[in-house]
Amino acid sequence: MPEEFSSELSQQIYAAAESAFKEIKRKADYPDYLTIKQACSYMNVSRTTLNTKLIPAGLRMITIDGSLMRFSKKTIDEFLEQHNN
């Protein structure tokens, strides 16, 4: 294998691994069930976008006693994966 190709391949593998580890750490920084504010931060969207775009598109919210609202991190990840174009 040519040295230039080997070096480029190593750099790409390193960059991919670094990106994957950063994503794992980012996800670990959040609890399994997120408040509205945490959910917005986790998805990097505004509360308006959450309320007007994502929830109407099918993002499910857990409501406890009619007022306590949480989003499952797993549900968010699945929703985003399904809507990844």
Q: What is the pLDDT of residues 50-74, one digit of tens each?
A: 999 999 999 999 999 988 999 999 9
Task: For residues 57 and 83, give the distance between their C-alpha atoms in angstroms, rounded to a whole number.
Answer: 9
**7 and 41 assigned to the same domain:** no
Q: How confident is the model at residue 27 (pLDDT cuts 50, 70, 90)?
A: low
By CB atoms closer than 10 A (0-12, 13-18, 19+), residue 54 is: buried
Number of domains in the chain: 2
d(CA 24, CA 30): 11
Q: Are residues 54 and 13 in the same domain?
A: no
Burial class (CB in 10 A: 0-12, 13-18, 19+), 68: exposed
For the chain, percent of residues with pLDDT exceeding 70: 94
Residues 57 and 77 in one domain: yes
Q: What is the pTM of this model?
A: 0.70
| Parent domain of 70 | 31-84
